[in-house]
Amino acid sequence: MPSWVTQGYDEYARRMPSDMSLELCEITPGQRGKGRDVARAMQKEGDAMLAAIAPSDYVVALEVLGKSWSTEQLSEQMEGWRMNGRDVALLVGGPEGLDARCVARADVKWSLSSLTLPHPMVRLLVSEQIYRAWSIICNHPYHRAG
């Protein structure tokens, strides 16, 4: 990832409280390119994602066909996740999307946009929106809309 993405993600993760921490778990992407089997790459990524998820985790798959939430709706979702008491795993797929098994494992599907977004932007956008939603939950002045 470019340094600006890492710095931005780290900044929002640092701001999160310990009871709602943000932790990044990166998997090695499957090999792509000329003569490579894309389905095999997606399967490898899916294997790694599913291995990283605990059976008790609440899984949110980032999917273009998922539910679109406003920041306020995300804060409501996060408050529900916190009250549920389970760890939440957010799954972001590779260039072709998530392996079908990861989508099937998801408790909910979340769409950031109907636009195709590059992975660096997704990482930064998700971390900022999680922090912003937390600021709504806590009446922190970071979120001033509305």
Render pLDDT for 37-90 as a digit per residue (tens, 0 to 9): 888 888 999 999 999 999 999 999 999 899 999 999 999 999 999 999 899 999
DSSP class of residue 20 equals G
* CA atoms of 52 and 1, how far apart (whole Å): 21
Q: Does 34 or 56 have the greater pLDDT score?
A: 56
Residue 134 has pLDDT above 70, yes or no: yes
Strands 108-111 and 88-91: unpaired
Was 93 annotated as part of a binding site?
yes
Cβ(44)–Cβ(30) below 8 Å: yes
pLDDT class of 146 with cuts at 50, 70, 90: low
pTM score of the predicted model: 0.89
Was 112 annotated as part of a binding site?
yes
Tokens found for residue 48 = 């790694």
Was 33 annotated as part of a binding site?
no
Was 114 annotated as part of a binding site?
yes
Was 111 annotated as part of a binding site?
no
SS3 (DSSP) at 106: coil
Strand partners, 60: 90, 108
Was 113 annotated as part of a binding site?
yes
